């Protein structure tokens, strides 16, 4: 088990964003987290990366409890994420953005960096090569010296994925990677996520594009108003009464009368 979420509850003042949510993800899976707007999906991501601390409950990563760890420690352990509203470093180049992603995998301090000792130069070279490979993987190699803010929207989304991959994650969290993409872009995103899976990275994805989710995911959890509505394989989810009701609304016979 890569990730085990156990009875997570998160309240913001009087509002409960997540109520007693549990699910677990197996090695190599692509796991979907879906639900209507405001269901608590991003809050779940924030709890896993500890950007917000859950009110109660525990999260285990590779059997180790990660609740309460600082976000940068969680990245060191091997979880990295992208954001729903793209959060790149706008005035760094594409290459530098990806190199920042690799921060926790290198360890030169102030003096080694300033004196440029041999080990630091090698380390920097390796980091750069890895970043270039990742840019090639997401199809941005010719844009490596562009500032992130000058890239097109779809490119920025892919750059965020490359940046997250630079930290060598075992678990990659993708928050609506297809948002705002056209069909062609979504198709190449599908290929990209499949490639990432084949590299041995487990993926947890939040997505509203249902056809993408259903084709991509091995298993899915559905959230609605902070509660877990259903869990299962894509075909089970598609035929689940409660899920259909949450998305399309209940047929109200009385209102006709």
Partner 1 sequence: MLGEVLNPYYLQVLCFILINIMLALSVYVPLSSGQLSLGSAGFMGIGAYTSALLAIHFELPLYITILVGALLAGVVGIIVGIPSLRLTGVYLAIATLGFGEVIRVFFINWENVTKGSVGLTGIPQLGRSLLNVAKAAGLEPGAFGLRNNQFVYLALAILLLIIVSVLLWFVIRQKNSRIGRAFASIQMDEKAAESMGINITYYKVLAFAQGAFIAGLAGALFAHTIGFISPADFSYHRAVEILIFTVFGGSELVIGSVFGAVILTLLPELLRSVSDYRYILYGIMLVILMAVRPQGILDVHLLLRMRGKRMTRGTG
Residues from 20 through 79 that contact partner 1 (CB under 8 A): 49, 51, 70-72, 74-76
- Spatial CA neighbour of 32 closest among 169, 224, 196, 222: 222
Coil vs helix vs strand at 204: strand
- Around Cβ 96, how many Cβ atoms within 10 Å? 18
Q: Does an H or E element contain 160, and which?
A: helix 153-165
Decide: is 231 part of the binding site for partner 1 (CB under 8 A): no
Question: Taking contact as CB under 8 A, which single stretch among the options 4-12, 57-65, 119-127, 210-218 is the one that binds partner 1?
Answer: 119-127
Residues 101-139, buried b or exposed e (16+ Cβ, 10 A)? bbebeeebeeeeeeeeeeebeebeeebbebbbebbebbe
Residues from 69 through 88 that contact partner 1 (CB under 8 A): 70-72, 74-76, 80-81, 83, 87-88
Q: Which two tokens stand for residue 190?
A: 């599908």
110, 248, 256, 257: which one binds partner 1 (CB under 8 A): 110
Question: Taking contact as CB under 8 A, which single stretch among the options 10-18, 24-32, 97-105, 239-247 is the one that binds partner 1?
Answer: 97-105
| Binding site residues, partner 1, CB under 8 A | 49, 51, 70-72, 74-76, 80-81, 83, 87-92, 96, 99-101, 103-106, 108-110, 113-114, 116, 120, 124, 127, 163-164, 167
């Amino acid at each position: 088990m890569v990730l085990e979420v156990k009875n997570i509850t998160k309240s913001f003042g009087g509002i409960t964003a997540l109520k007693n949510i549990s699910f677990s993800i197996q090695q190599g899976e692509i796991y979907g987290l879906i639900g209507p707007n405001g269901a608590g999906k991003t809050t779940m991501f924030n709890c896993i990366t500890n950007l917000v601390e859950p009110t109660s409950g525990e999260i285990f990563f590779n059997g180790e409890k990660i609740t309460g760890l600082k976000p940068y420690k969680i990245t060191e352990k091997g979880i990295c994420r992208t954001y729903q509203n793209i959060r790149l470093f706008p005035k760094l180049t594409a290459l530098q953005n990806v190199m920042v992603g690799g921060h926790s995998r290198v360890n030169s301090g102030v003096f080694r960096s300033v004196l440029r000792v041999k080990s630091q130069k090698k380390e920097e070279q390796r980091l750069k090569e890895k970043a270039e490979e990742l840019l090639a993987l997401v199809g941005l190699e010719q844009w490596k010296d562009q500032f992130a803010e000058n890239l097109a929207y779809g490119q920025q989304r892919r750059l965020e994925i490359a940046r997250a991959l630079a930290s060598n994650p075992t678990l990659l969290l993708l928050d609506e990677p297809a948002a705002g993409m056209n069909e062609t872009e979504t198709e190449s995103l599908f290929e990209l996520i499949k490639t990432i899976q084949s590299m041995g990275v487990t993926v947890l994805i939040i997505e509203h594009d249902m056809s993408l989710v259903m084709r991509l995911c091995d298993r899915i959890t559905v959230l609605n108003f902070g509660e877990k509505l259903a869990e299962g394989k894509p075909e089970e989810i598609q035929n689940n009464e409660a899920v259909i009701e949450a998305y399309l609304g209940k047929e109200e016979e009385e209102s006709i009368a």
